[in-house]
Structure 1
C-alpha cells in the first residue's frame, strides 16, 4: 500500500468528484501495468492505494514518484513530503502523517514572517511541500528552488479545495481562458493557474474568486 502525500479534505459531492478524479489519475499512472489496485482514504484524509500483482513494486514506485508518500517513520537527512497544515510566527507545520515543524529560520525563502512568506509565494493551505527531516527540519533545496522560480515567471494564482478540472472550468466560465497558459496540479486539490505574459495575477484572482469557494493566493513576479 502507498499512502499518497496529498489530502482529500472536502466533503459531500466534492469529495466524490475528487476521488473519482484521483482514481482516473492513478489509472493513468499504473493502469498499463500488471496490477490490481484499490483507492481509499485514511481517517486523516490521506488517500491510500492498495496495489497487488506482478508489477506491484513498479506501480508503487510510480505512485511514490508522482505524489510523494506518507511514511510511518522518518530518517534524519532524508527528503519527505508533507502538506502545509498551519503556520505561525515560529514557522510552518507540515502534516506528513504526523506534524513536522519547520522553524521560520529553516524555511529559506527570504525575509519576512512565515505568514508573509506564505502569502508572497502563494502557499495555500494543504499544498504539498518537500522537506528534509531533522532537528530541526527544513524545506528541501529543490522545493526552495521551485518556489523561487514561481516569482521569476509570468505570475500565478494558486488555489486549494478544487480539482484541476474545476479550476480550469472556473477560469473558462469567468472568460479568462485566453489569459492563462495552463493549470498545473500540485496535489489532488491544490492547483496553480499560470498566467500569460501581460495578465495581472491579482486581477485574475479577483475575477475567478467569486466563482470558486477556495483559498486563493497570487504570486506576482
Structure 2
C-alpha cells in the first residue's frame, strides 16, 4: 500500500452549536468525533484515502483535511462531504446561479425576508431571500406575512437549505450585498414532502441517533415512517398518516433538552402547491 502523499484542505460552512449544553467542552469533543464518523460513512471503501484532521477554527467553523494518493480522489470525496457540511467562499468568489448548501439564520427577527449562511467570509456575509421571492416560491405569490410562511414551513435557525445567489450588489463603503432564492432541487424536495400529506418534524441541535433512540424509548417507532439526516445535527422526522406532529413533540421534547423542534403540516400547504403555475 502506497503512503499517502496528497492533501486537500477545506473549511465547512457549518457552525458548531448546541442548545442548552451542560458541558460545552465535552459536547464539542463529542460532536467532532460524531461528525468524523458521519463523514467517513460517505467515503467510498474502494478509495485509498482518509480524514487526517478535523478541528474547530476560531469562528467555530470546522476545518477538514483529507489525505490520499490522487488529487482526483481527494476532490471527489471533498465534493461528497461538502454536500453534508457545505464550504466557505471569499466575498469576491461567491458563485451566482449555482446551488449552495446553506443554513437558515435569524429566523423571525426581521420582517422582510430570511437570511441564509452559505459560508461567505472576508468579511462574513449572509444571503437574504426577500419576502417577495419567498411568496413567489413558497405560497404561489399569495400576500402572506413572513411570520405565516415561517410557521407553515417550520423554518428555524440552523435548518439546512439549498439556495442560489441571484444578485450581488456593491453598497456604499465597499460593502457587498447578496440576495438569493431557494434552488430548484430544494423546491422539488418540498413539493415531494407536501404532496405526501404527512406531518414533518424538523429537529436541530442533536444527532439523528439520539432522536431515533428517544422516539423508540417513548414508544413512537410505529408512528414514524423514517428519520432522515439533513445535516450533522439536523434531522427530519416523517410521521405516518394520521400521526400528529405536535403530539409527538410533546412526548419526546422533555427528554431532549438540547434539541429544538418545528413542524411542517403539509395539508395546510397543499392548496398553494396544487395551484402553482
TM-score after normalising by structure 1? 0.90
1:161 is aligned to 2:208 = no
Distance in 1 between residues matched to 2:245 and 2:160, nearest whole Å = 22
- Secondary structure of the equivalent of 1:120? helix
Matches within 5 A, 1:82-161: 82-87=102-107, 88-97=110-119, 98-107=125-134, 108-110=137-139, 111=142, 112-135=144-167, 136-153=179-196, 154-161=198-205
1:1-221 alignment runs, 5 A limit: 1-10=9-18, 11-30=24-43, 32=45, 33-37=47-51, 38-54=53-69, 55-72=73-90, 73-87=93-107, 88-97=110-119, 98-107=125-134, 108-110=137-139, 111=142, 112-135=144-167, 136-153=179-196, 154-213=198-257, 214-221=259-266
Structure 2: gaps of 5 or more residues: 1-8, 19-23, 120-124, 168-178, 267-277
Pairwise CA distance, 1:7:
3.2
Gaps of 5+ in 1: none
| SS of equivalent residue, structure 1 residue 6 | strand
Q: Contact (CA 8 Å) 1:121, 1:150: kept in 2 or not? A: no
Please report the RMSD computed on the Cα atoms of aligned residues, expressed in angstroms.
1.9
Q: Call closer, same or farther: CA 1:138–1:14 in 2, change over 3 Å.
A: same
Whether contact under 8 Å (1:161, 1:215) holds in the other structure is yes
Q: Is the 8 A contact 1:157 1:217 kept in 2?
A: yes
Deviations along 1:101-132, one digit per CA (max 9) or x if unpaired, are 11111222114223322221122311111111
Higher gyration radius (CA): 2
CA contact (8 A) 1:5 1:128 kept: no
Task: Give the strand-richer structure, 1 or 2.
Answer: 2
Q: Which runs of 4+ in 1 moved over 6 A?
A: none
Give the SS at the match of 1:210: helix
Alpha carbons 1:7, 1:189 under 8 Å: kept? no
Task: Give the structure-2-normalised TM-score.
Answer: 0.73
Provide the rounded CA distance (Å) in 1 between the counterparts of 2:190 and 2:61.
Answer: 24
Contact 1:6 1:128 in 2 (8 A): no
Determine if contact 2:13/2:61 at 8 Å carries over to the other structure.
Answer: yes
